[in-house]
Amino acid sequence: MVNVSEQLALLPHQCGVYRFLNKDGKVIYVGKAKDLKKRVSQYFARGRNLSVKTNRMVSQIRTLEYTVVETESDALLLENNLIKTLRPRYNILLKDDKTFPWICVKNEPFPRVLQTRRAVKDGSHYFGPYTSAFYCKQLLQLLHTLYPLRTCSLPLTPAAIASGRYRKCLQAHIGRCLAPCVGEESREHYDRYIRSVLSILKGDLASVRKLLEEQMKTAVASLDFEQAQKYKEQWDILTRYQTKSVIVNPGISDLDVFSTILDPSSSMAFGNFMRVSGGAVIQSLNVKYKLHIEETPATVLSLFLADMKEQLGELSGDILVPFLPEAVPANSKVHIPRRGDKQTLVSLSMRNALNYMREQVRLSETGENETIREQKTKKLLERLREDLRMKELPLHMECFDNSNLQGSHPVAACVVFRNGLPSKKEYRHFTIKNVTGPDDFASMTEVVARRYKRMLEQNDPLPQLVVIDGGKGQLSAAYNALESLGLSKNITLVGLAKRLEEIYLATDKTPLFLDKNSSSLRLLMQLRNEAHRFGITFHRQKRSARFTRSALLDIPGIGPVLMEKLLGRFGSLKQIALAPEEELAAVVSVKIARKIKESFCQGTGS
């Protein structure tokens, strides 16, 4: 586990896939994460609430490996592949060979168009895989909206149809299928739909739109206006779908565009791939490679071409590039355009690669800065642990402060610091309930007891360090509250007095004096000051609300209902005092409006 602790500090805050290995070096678990550092650290956090199975797995971890990827969908694909390849013991999800969706045009009479998780070599046409199941379903919905394709799984052989064994289904009755099962649609007619579907899935929208235009004109010429309207609706749907792609030039079709940029400072190469079909960019992808010794741009571009061919199966016959690669995949020709729309495409690809490089360099620099900041924070907390003679690193700290004005409106505040920084979403206010008069010690006992009793009930992780704003008295009150809950030995408790900034330890009568420039003292003072600021703000809000309520309710004729109306209309006591009598009379009666003005005039002495 020592190796894991060292590795946790170096994990990046990036999306990726992590692998846990046991003492034999065998991968026992593969997981994905939007933030590798946060996700992996959860397994080893103090006070973690894990299942029996997960605890058993964590006890077997001796080291870890990780892979950083660009997006969550990339992480999902990589995790899927690793689980199928490595078969880790503690993985269940995706171990059943469930892969990402494809759109399949079945090899059968009256082919179905459906979504599948398996690409089987059965003569069917497969398109994908799609990392987004939602997009896959949207595309299927588009195809079924355009064409009345069958959705049933009946074997529609000529013999089965001729025998009359089938009856029309609901889809046929509502017009979503033309009932080939009972012989009402010919195979030739249905195959025309399938040819259009195949063209759309390949990205060739122009030919399908042209076919629809011809069919629409033919229907109009034969005065079949109802059918012409159907063709027009299909044409409109396809046009709307096409507008989502980047239009280049209707005359440019079936092209792949590649570009790469080298960054010597980071020893990285960045590339962009675009696929153009039917005059539109239908696919785009950014990649990056780690450079080795003496690799040239031509070498990297060749690697990029080979990599994309492996992923896509085949590249287009024509490939546009900014410079010649060392090698070209079979069945493809490369061109370096000098002008026109094709040159514009190469420039667009180069611009995408350049933007991607800048983004990645910024992320790399941010990651390095984050690592440096984390190392400084760890060093700071380690120093605080030594100064306070703590057993654990104070990753989770809390501070309490009381506020009251001669015993009126007593409140308290609790602020939370994690990893040396404020965690404002965890700040809490307390209204003192069981203490009468200005009793700071009793108030501290109540607040500390309420805070940690609730945390115990909710099974929340407890802090390693609790700071009390005050001296021996407040510290003793807080210690009694922790002792009543059985937590006095689990939490390090200290008090920070304001006069000399001396630190009182709950287990030591002699105060601790740290150097004024000590990083530990500055961190404790920051924690104390934040608690005071948060508490006094809440106290002022309570006093202000009480003053507003009293000032209005003291006016004869105004009760809680009218007070709420006035505050709802004017917003504050000041605005009520400044409002003309006519505006007040619009909310309350003229008589009460006059009393309000008289009351505030007397209060100001005018």
pLDDT tens, residue by residue, 500-512: 788 888 877 788 8
Mean pLDDT for 360-373 is 68
Provide the pLDDT confidence category of residue 98 given band limits of 50, 70 and 90: very low
Highest mean pLDDT among 29-33, 96-100, 134-138, 421-425: 421-425
CATH topology of domain 396-537: Nucleotidyltransferase; domain 5 (3.30.420)
8 A C-beta contact, residue 166 and residue 112: no
Tell whether the model's pLDDT for residue 417 goes beyond 90. yes
Q: Where does residue 409 fall: left (phi above 0), alpha (psi -120 to 50 degrees), or beta otherwise? A: left
Per-domain residue ranges for the chain? 2-86, 102-203, 255-360, 396-537, 554-604
Cβ atoms within 10 Å of 512's Cβ, excluding its own: 15
pLDDT of 95 strictly over 50: no
Instruction: Return the CATH number of the domain spanning residue range 554-604.
Output: 1.10.150.20
pLDDT at 539 (0 to 100): 59
User: Strand 492-496 vs strand 465-469: parallel, antiparallel, or unpaired?
Assistant: parallel
Tell me the two tokens of residue 234: 């299909």
Exposed / middle / buried, residue 584 (Cβ in 10 Å: 0-12, 13-18, 19+)? buried
Q: Indicate the range of 415-419, 471-475, 552-556 predicted with least confidence.
A: 552-556
pLDDT in the model for residue 204: 66
**Which pair of tokens denotes residue 49?**
């609430």
Q: Which positions ≥6 away from 411 have C-beta within 8 Å?
A: 402, 403, 404, 429, 430, 431, 432, 535, 538, 539, 542
**CA quadruple 152, 154, 155, 160: dihedral positive or negative?**
negative
Pairing, β 408-418 against β 421-422: antiparallel
pLDDT at residue number 398: 94
396-537 and 554-604, same CATH topology:
no
Alpha-carbon dihedral angle through residues 251, 252, 253, 254, given to the nearest 10 degrees: 160
CA distance 441 to 469: 11
Give me the pLDDT at residue 2, please.
45
Is the pLDDT score of 537 beyond 70?
A: yes
pLDDT in tens, 281-332: 666 677 887 765 456 788 788 778 877 776 666 788 899 999 998 777 777 8
Residue 50 has a pLDDT of: 72
CATH 3.40.1440.10 fits 2-86, yes or no: yes
DSSP secondary-structure letter at 460? P
Q: What is the dihedral of CA 589, 594, 595, 597, to 10 degrees?
A: 130
- Please tell me the distance from the alpha carbon of residue 293 to that of residue 307, in angstroms, as a whole number: 20
| 3-state SS record for 507-562 | CEEEEECCCCCCHHHHHHHHHHHHHHHHHHHHHHHHHHHHHHHHHHHCCCCCCHHH
Residue keyed to tokens 């493809």: 332
Q: Name the DSSP class of 309.
A: H
pLDDT of amino acid 301: 86
In our burial notation (b when 16+ CB lie closer than 10 A, e otherwise), range 520-544 reads bbebbbbbbebbbebbeebbeebbe
Each residue's pLDDT tens digit, 418-460: 988 888 888 888 888 777 666 788 888 888 999 899 999 988 8
109-130: per-residue pLDDT in tens? 999 999 887 777 778 888 765 6
pLDDT at 399 > cutoff 90: yes
pLDDT tens for each residue of 144-195: 877 888 989 888 888 888 888 888 888 888 888 988 998 888 999 899 889 8
Residue type, 568: G
From edge to edge, which strands make up the β-sheet containing 268-277? 246-247, 280-290, 268-277, 255-263, 318-320, 333-335
Q: Who has greater pLDDT, 440 or 255?
A: 255
At 94, is the pLDDT very low, low, confident or very high (cuts 50, 70, 90)?
Answer: very low
Counting residues of the chain whose pLDDT is more than 90, the rounded percentage is 8
